[in-house]
A and B are shown apart, each in its own frame.
Chain A
């Protein structure tokens, strides 16, 4: 019996104490016609050895390829200590820290996380996390609608350079509450949002502007100009940022004259493995003046009855378990283990380690782009600086090229045909500090062969 410790003697004693003859009798309030006859769709139990064999076989069949994929999830070195500590039972099997005195480990860790991520983004305050970068973006839009008292429209400007999945998630989550997302086009040569895209909104009532940084193409938007344009019109600025990039690039709190109002992003690059898309975590930071509009859990430091420092969940009156229908969000569980990993990761890397990681990623990406664009038939799609990923244009369809590369054990990047058909044969490639010059050369050589084989086909 999986994980059920009862002996026959236990069961007999317990039934006797309750005063029933069989466990079955405890279900006498359940109408008989509702009782399940058999769970045909569930196979027989496997013991641990058997499930281990099955999972190992499946993992082996999936294998590990040399990957140059980015597009919102990034491969970085994760120090061994990160998950060794994160999977300690005291972190792994603890619950949400509602009983603060029994959860000081988790609470202090989250306070440290809040402190680190607020500093990294240059903002004043953070929450304990959201599900992922995309849902954090949706929640930020809802928060901006609450927080921007001057605007009644609930119209949010969304650059097309924001990750396509993030845009879809924002609509799926926020549209039901009357938020209207309006798309901003990008410059075909530049791959960023240009001032003339904003011009038609000059005198409109707009609630917020989303600014991705880097954007989906890896390109760097003109964040100061965008921020100042928005603030001059009473529009809140929501930054959607890559946390590794922020070790090198100007953080949202320093954008324009006043800094962004809310910053969100995907925390996965900070010590969380790619793991097929999750669990990741979304981070959200903001100014103190908006803290009561921020959804999710927040940890605060306070004193205990003996005057000693301690940590507790605070500002809970905004949350679902108290405010119910008027809550800032329905979020309950967040992404605790992923946040634990990120906090340990940031502590191990520190400012120098994170800066070096960002710098190495950037250098590798430049090296990759240079190597691939030396190949005839491959050229950069956009002019201008990028961070750790870039769009290349091929002179033939991308999908068969990627298939050919995959056949050589290389995942070459993301085919943008389904997302940005106007870009033609476009491929989004990424390199981080995990790629060596030898890896890049191997890709270059495989790309050369792949292009030839596709031409020949």
Chain B
């Protein structure tokens, strides 16, 4: 039996070998001249039609092997000019447009928009309306995070959380439908209140969801949080420092994962958020794993917020009882002349706004959503309606985050930013 000692040509086999310093691996080839591998960089185009770009995003990447050396994102493939359309619509006619921007968490956009207009006009909504809107916003925070969870997991190959999260989302779809009649494009709010009060049995359905949901969330935790493959694909990937995160305009869980304690609900609270008892998870490293953990914990905190909000839900009217702002009930409009005139004027003309502008910042599921409305004296349509989309600014950081990582890490980083192209391109 011949011994296994063979003369290895160490210098030339080094690049192909796997062993540590100085030790030739028995698998290392010997006596092979260094192969002439092409050393040009490769241009890869991802999208705009691609399963893992989470929408119509185009990433042109320059790769050195598998390593990304340069990325240029191209957006605008879903530009629907919401903002220009808004200039042709009265205040309430814009609400259906807001659903279609962030279609993953439409109620948050509905609420944010009318909150901005109400602030501009100086309208104070009823207590019940405030709590109902808090419930809807927290519900849609869970809704948006669930989709992020399913699609991010499926991007790295975990198919089961996708099915689990969509199953939970179905329950929220049922809740949306029971409230507004539509699953996704809810258009639930109006200036001064809501399109309708909560129907009978809705709160019971919500309680059922809130009781069952943590179990599924726990299952996904068990599948992913300690999973070595998941950890290997997310820890240390796409890190950003806190100072950079603020400078680059990160907001939401992306910013908090980097260690910055900025949550619009805590720092610029609205709708009595300062009286609710909840925590905001703050990360350390700013990598994909921290963003994952932040969002998972946020879902748990939202469940707590939902329970608190349901407990404190007061009775009373849901809409402001001002006939110049809220539509009268149908029975009144059909029987009482004054109500009919108010109804007519509100529908044909709209609500006149005072001169000025208003920037309302809301903590959406993706980050700080800013709704900026500008009005002229007595106008029933905005002069300018600007949406500051959190994903737009979050996505602009992707060249900084992904350069130097592998192509598959780029996919993970893109997924972990939780972007939705509808709001980026508007």
Q: Do they bind each other?
A: no
Q: Which A residues form the contact surface with B (CB < 8 A)?
A: none
